[in-house]
């Protein structure tokens, strides 16, 4: 599986900001206590996805023979 780590990170961030933007619409009528909980939950899930991306990237580097081989296989955009 060849992929570029930055593209995956961008996809994670886009989803995170999309979800975060939906919570801003409810800020007027949802108590701040619940808003903080929701934002903490969203941030926790974002960190989990970043760890998944890093694990997959490390696994790919190990299988292809290092970072140099990985860059040759999928050059940065």
pLDDT digits (tens, 9 = 90+) for 15-42: 888 888 887 777 677 787 887 888 888 8
**Model pLDDT, residue 1:** 44
pTM: 0.59
1 and 60 in contact (C-beta within 8 Å)? yes
**Model pLDDT, residue 13:** 86
- Assigned token pair, 6: 């930055």
Task: Tell me which residue of 25, 45, 23 sits closest to 34, measured CA to CA.
Answer: 23
What confidence tier does 70 reach under pLDDT thresholds 50, 70, 90?
A: low
**Model pLDDT, residue 71:** 56
What phi and psi, each to the nearest 5 degrees, are found at residue 52? -60, -45
49 and 12 in contact (C-beta within 8 Å)? yes
């Amino acid at each position: 599986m060849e992929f570029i780590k930055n593209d995956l990170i961008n996809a994670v961030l886009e989803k995170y900001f999309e979800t975060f933007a939906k919570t801003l619409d409810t800020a007027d009528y949802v108590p701040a206590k619940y808003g903080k909980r929701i934002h903490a939950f969203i941030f926790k899930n974002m960190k989990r996805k970043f760890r998944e991306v890093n694990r997959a990237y490390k696994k790919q580097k190990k299988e292809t023979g290092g970072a140099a081989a990985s860059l040759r296989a999928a050059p940065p955009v």
